Amino acid sequence: MITHNLGFPRIGKKRELKKALEQYWQKKISKVDLLDQAKQIRQENWQTQHQNGVNLVPVGDFALYDQVLSTSIMLGIVPKRFQSNQSVLDTEFAIARGQSGGECNCAASDMTKWFDTNYHYIVPEITASTEICIDTAALVGQVKEAKSAGYQCKPVIIGPVTYLYLAKSTIEDKITFLPKLLEAYQVILDELAQLNCEWIQIDEPILTLELNEQWQHALTTTYQQLKKTSSKWLLATYFGRVDHLSNLVSKLNVDGIHLDTVAEQGNITEFVYSLPNDWVISLGVIDGRNVWKSDLVSIYQRISPLLNVLGSRLWLAPSCSLLHSPIDVNLEKNLNEEVKSWLAFAVQKCNELELLAFALKSKNTDDITKYSTPVLQSLVSEKRNNNKVKTAISALSTADFERASRFEQRQEIQQRALGLPLYPTTTIGSFPQTGDIRATRAKWKREELSDVEYQTAIKSEIASVIRKQEQIGLDVLVHGEAERNDMVEYFGEQLDGCAITEFAWVQSYGSRCVKPPIIYGDVSRPQPMTTPWISYANSLSEKPVKAMLTGPITIMSWSFIRNDIAREQVAKQIGLAIKEEVSDLADHGIGIIQIDEPAIKEAMPLKQSQWAKYSQWATEAFRLCSAHVSDETQIHSHICYSEFNDILASLIDLDADVLTIETSRSNMEVLEAFEQLTYPNALGPGVYDIHSANIPSIEWIKDLIVKAGEYLPKERIWVNPDCGLKTRAWPETEAALKNLVKAAQELRLEN
């Protein structure tokens, strides 16, 4: 039985690629050094996979920046603005990172989330005049590398339909570009076949989506038109089931299919039997994007009957590329031993395949039984189970999710309590995270600063931020979030049921990696997490200080979460913990509390038919945090998308008193969505883009507010930037906020 892998993390065990990339960009190392480092990581990755029992290792899964961008480079699909005479490598980085200076002042291509993961890809740009110019050097080179090192390998490419689907295009109907793309893919596939690889993996993850007829048709024609080569083709699907398209799938002219059996569990036997009986069926049985050890015994039991029918046509693999998994759990030295015994990262996942394959072949289950013991133990472990939390969750009733009064009534009461002017001004929470602040936190972490010294330093930062905001003239102040490294990790560190790792980095985009907390058990809040800082800030000003919390959906989405209970349950547990924090803040006299939910949209299921159900529990989890406060307490929320048509109804269901959103880049155009569905509460449509250092003029801001007035009554409009300011520097921040305040003041006078 063949075991194979769809992809392996490419950042390196100790983030070597990240470091090399950044050094190269800072011109501290040469191109040769960078490419050497990359080559070393590839060799190490193949060796690790091979040693841990992967028969067929992936090649072409490696990318210096992003696999979609590598595909664009291979196809020569380079936006016009980058077609200068620099090297292919520098062009690749310019597309990803933008370029200024020289003759080109060029914005980077867009970057967006890869399906429902936290990985970001570089969006290909296609226009009517896009000419394809194939350059397979990188991929061919890597295949040769793997072969000459003696590995049995399988080149991996992103399929043409998925590539086109993910691209952004100025062509009215981008599908008309498909024939051109297919010609190129034919050339690439022919070339790969000449390298004598038995199998080629073609990734078409869009098959897991609920595609319209046009895209379904595109898939059908693609895999009828592409002419088979001497290599066999394994069509790889992942992140969900594909049996909703079973008729389409079984007619595709390929030699096998990879199915993700983890993402949307359920019985796939019938579907598998409906597929052509000469296909290889690769079952993705090991969770490729979470951190838990597999219960190999139960997988064994599930698969054995299939093996009897399929025989050597059955292959084993992780559910998706291991790109989304940290690399090696054995690097962790400070994790609780019991929790650690429940974990498997990329290296361990490869080993799981080997154990499973051995058990299936030999019918000897001793090793997998032993291996899976901690998984079974975890289910009943005291570390994982907290009866108090379970009882609290099961005692929840409708009243826990609804505020006592309607928005109109709350607004009146809050207005009396807060006495804010028309067009109240505020910010989204964080202020510039200077080098000093970062150094202070790092020193305290390394215990080079005592708790008292650390508190003094942060308090002085808070005091300075409050002073600055008063000088600027903002109406609702914030404490600035200087104590937070990251809006999720900060809470993950403090919640029970959550672990923080040292090395469990996962690539987010390019050289940027994130280290998500691991939610391993019932979540609870042992003590206040933010109140001391916020109360302090509040004591420094007559003006209201708004507290800042991260919401349950965002904490959940940006963490690795346990897989023994439903996501909804995890979200509600976090909701309860945040609810306690909200109560604590309110008890300390904080009148405005913001609960950020920037992940609410990306956590949506890939299949549209599941959105309504998700929205229901996701908004419940949010309201669980916030609904219990008195009418007088004003709840804010913040999300940051310029595209929120799909989630408008959910945003309304959050029932926040004030919702601040990203709109400035689209010139308030996104507010057009409100023509279909009126937003009933107060809204702070971001009036300037914090991602840019440009200082918005007073006129520009006023214009935007006036525009917002076309969609909302002025009594419900707030004035604020479109996101937190932590990535900005102080001079531009102060200048921008002064204009923002001025704009609001002038408009008040004009009213």
Provide the minimum distance between the beta carbon of 598 and ligand GLN in the complex, in angstroms, as a whole number.
4
Q: How far is the CB of 641 from Zn ion (least distance, A)?
A: 9
> Using CB distances below 5 to 8 A depending on partner kind, what does residue 430 bind out of Zn ion, ligand GLN, none?
ligand GLN
**Residue 721: contacted member of Zn ion, ligand GLN, none (CB under 5 to 8 Å, by partner type):** none
Q: What are phi and psi of 517, to 5 degrees?
A: -60, 160
Indicate the SS3 state at residue 6.
coil
- CA distances (Å), 717 to each of 189, 259, 682, 694, in order? 55, 48, 6, 23
Tell which residue, 429, 545, 543, has the closest CA to residue 483. 429
- Closest CB 638 distance from ligand GLN, rounded Å: 5
Query: Is the four-CA dihedral 543, 708, 603, 680 of positive or negative sign?
Result: positive
Compare residues 403 and 546 and give the one whose CB is closer to ligand GLN: 546
Residue in the structure block whose two tokens are 């990329």:
346
Report how far residue 324's alpha carbon sits from residue 263's, in angstroms, rounded to the nearest whole number.
13
String of contacts with Zn ion for each residue 297-336, x by CB under 5 A:
----------------------------------------
Report how many residues bind ligand GLN under the rule CB under 6 A: 13
21 touches which of ligand GLN, Zn ion, none (CB within 5 to 8 A by kind)? none
Query: Which of Zn ion, ligand GLN, none binds 432 (CB below 5-8 Å, type-dependent)?
Result: none
Closer residue to ligand GLN in complex, CB, 13/638 = 638
Q: Cβ 642 to ligand GLN, closest distance in Å?
A: 13
| 560 and 339 Cβ atoms separated by less than 8 Å | no
- Closest to 259 in 3D by CA, of 299, 199, 314: 314
Among the residue ranges 189-197, 212-220, 261-269, 428-436, the one whose residues contact ligand GLN (CB under 6 A): 428-436
Site map (CB under 6 A) of ligand GLN, residues 535-554, x = contact: -------------x------
Nearer to ligand GLN, 60 or 429 (CB): 429
Cβ nearer to Zn ion, comparing 73 with 488: 488
* DSSP 8-state secondary structure symbol assigned to residue 121: E
Is 691 known to be catalytic? Answer: yes
Instruction: Work out what residue 487 binds among ligand GLN, Zn ion, none; the CB cut-off runs from 5 to 8 Å by kind.
Output: ligand GLN
Residue type, 125: E
Characterize 343-379 residue by residue with b for buried, 16 or more Cβ atoms within 10 angstroms of its Cβ, and e for exposed. Answer: bbbbbbbbbbbbbbbbbbeeeebeebeebbebbeebe
Q: Single out the segment in contact with Zn ion by CB under 5 A; choices: 46-54, 417-425, 533-541, 719-727.
A: 719-727
Segment lying near ligand GLN (by CB under 6 A), choices 4-12, 63-71, 279-287, 423-431: 423-431
Residue nearest to ligand GLN (CB): 724
List the single partner that 548 binds among Zn ion, ligand GLN, none, CB under 5 to 8 Å by kind.
ligand GLN
Residue 330, φ and ψ in degrees, nearest 5: -70, -10
CB 548, min distance to ligand GLN, A: 5
**Residue among 246 and 666 whose Cβ is closer to ligand GLN:** 666
- Which one of 113-121, 518-526, 695-703, 718-726 is the stretch in contact with Zn ion (CB under 5 A)? 718-726
Of 155, 518, 490, 485, residue with least CA distance to 326 = 518
CB of 177 to ligand GLN, least distance (A): 34
Task: Please report how close the Cβ of residue 726 comes to ligand GLN at its closest, in angstroms.
Answer: 5
CB 543 within 8 A of CB 475: yes
Minimum separation from the CB atom of position 580 to Zn ion (A)? 24
CB 286 within 8 A of CB 352: yes
Q: Please report which helix (H) or strand (E) contains residue 164, including its range.
A: helix 160-166
Q: What is the DSSP string of 580-591?
A: HHHHHHHHTT--
What would the two tokens of residue 184 be?
A: 């190129």
What is the Cα–Cα distance from 431 to 437, expressed in whole angstroms?
A: 11
Residue 502 and residue 445 in contact, taking contact as beta carbons nearer than 8 Å: no
Instruction: Scan residues 555-594 and list those touching ligand GLN (CB under 6 A).
Output: none
Residues 609-638 within binding reach of ligand GLN (CB under 6 A): 638
CB contact at 8 A, 238 and 319:
yes
Span from 269-277, 463-471, 721-729, 733-741 in contact with Zn ion (CB under 5 A): 721-729
Nearer to ligand GLN, 567 or 638 (CB): 638
**Whole-number Cα distances in Å, 10 to 1, 46, 141, 322:** 27, 11, 17, 9
Q: Give 264 or 596: the residue with its C-beta nearer to ligand GLN.
A: 596
Are 59 and 155 spatial neighbours (Cβ–Cβ below 8 Å)? Answer: yes
Nearest to 488 by CA among 448, 452, 520, 529: 529
| Nearest to Zn ion of 347, 647 (CB atom) | 647
Name the token pair of 61. 């899964």
Best CA proximity match to 681, nearest among 701, 711, 655: 655
* Closer Cβ to Zn ion, 495 or 639, answer by number: 639
Query: Restricting to residues 593-652, which ones interact with Zn ion according to CB under 5 A?
Result: 640
Question: How far apart, in whole angstroms, are the C-alpha atoms of residue 482 and residue 464?
Answer: 11
For the sheet containing 560-561, what is the strand order?
A: 496-499, 518-524, 560-561
472 counts as binding ligand GLN under rule CB under 6 A: no
Q: Which of residues 698-727 bind ligand GLN (CB under 6 A)?
A: 723-724, 726
Would you count residue 428 as binding ligand GLN (CB under 6 A)? yes
Q: Does 723 bind Zn ion (CB under 5 A)?
A: yes
Q: In the complex, what is the shortest distance from the CB of residue 442 to ligand GLN, in angstroms, rounded to a whole number?
A: 19
Minimum distance from CB of 571 to ligand GLN (Å)?
Answer: 18
SS3 state of residue 280: strand
Catalytic residue among 4, 479, 636, 691: 691
Q: How far is the CB of 45 from ligand GLN (least distance, A)?
A: 32
Rounded-to-10 torsion of CA 482, 484, 486, 491: -150
Q: Give whichever of 481 and 655 is closer to ligand GLN, judged by the CB atom.
A: 481
Q: Annotate 522-581 with three-state secondary structure.
A: EEECCCCCCHHHHHHHHHCCCCCEEEEEECHHHHHHCCEECCCCCHHHHHHHHHHHHHHH
Comparison of 314 and 640: residue with beta carbon closer to ligand GLN:
640
Selected range binding Zn ion among 178-186, 465-473, 667-675, 715-723, rule: CB under 5 A? 715-723
Q: Which is nearer to Zn ion, 268 or 640 (CB)?
A: 640
Number of neighbours of residue 452 by Cβ within 10 angstroms: 8
Could you say which residues in the range 485-514 bind ligand GLN, by CB under 6 A? 487
Beta-carbon contacts of 365 under 8 Å, excluding residues fewer than 6 positions away, are: 297, 300, 359
Nearer to ligand GLN, 375 or 488 (CB): 488
How many Å apart are CA 737 and CA 432, to the nearest integer? 13
Figure out which of the listed residues 195, 640, 683, 740 binds ligand GLN, where binding follows CB under 6 A: 640
Site map 188..227 versus ligand GLN, x via CB under 6 A: ----------------------------------------
- 267 contacts: CB under 8 Å, gap ≥ 6: none
Q: Which SS3 state, helix, strand or coil, does residue 653 take? A: helix
Size of the site for Zn ion (CB under 5 A): 2
Contact 550, 596 (CB under 8 A): yes
In the complex, which residue's CB is closest to Zn ion? 640
For ligand GLN, the binding residue among 203, 596, 655, 689 (CB under 6 A) is: 596
Please pick, from the candidates 58, 575, 598, 696, the single residue that binds ligand GLN as defined by CB under 6 A. Answer: 598
- Write out the E strands in 464-623: 477-478, 496-499, 506-509, 512-514, 518-524, 545-550, 560-561, 592-596
Residues that bind Zn ion (CB under 5 A): 640, 723
Residues that bind ligand GLN (CB under 6 A): 428-430, 481, 487, 548, 596, 598, 638, 640, 723-724, 726
Q: Which are the catalytic amino acids?
A: 691
